[in-house]
Homo-oligomer: A and B are copies of this chain.
Amino acid sequence: MKLANRIKELRESQGLLQRQLSAQLEIDTPMFSKIERGERRAKQEQVLKIAEILKVSPDELIALWLTDQILDVIANACSYEKWKEQALQALKMAETDIKNKKD
């Protein structure tokens, strides 16, 4: 699930308008529309604010937001057909690296 889709789902299920969210985020409606369709990336601060407004855990949205970014990096870096295996390896190495960091 993409962050964009999750935001839309939550917003609609709560009967809120883009206009209302935009106002709270202090951006204009077109910008929010783009964020909600994944055409523009939200800033971390905005993701947190959205979680608050839509009453979900920031953890959930941050994880989705990070996933989008990771997939973007991979997609931009190289084509899947050619480097799929290396992408999977890279994800594994990144995981190991992060696990080994002390908190």
A61, closest chain B residue (CB): B86
Report the bound CA distance from A66 to B88 in whole Å.
Answer: 10
Residue in B63, B88, B95 whose CB lies within 8 Å of A98 = B88
> B78 to A44, Cβ gap below 8 A?
yes
How many copies of the shown chain assemble into the complex?
Answer: 2
Query: How many A residues are at the interface, by size bracket?
Result: 35 or more
For chain A residues 60-103, which have a beta carbon within 8 Å of chain B?
62-67, 69-71, 73-74, 77-78, 80-81, 83-95, 97-99, 101, 103
**A positions within 8 Å CB-CB of B:** 44, 59, 62-67, 69-71, 73-74, 77-78, 80-81, 83-95, 97-99, 101, 103
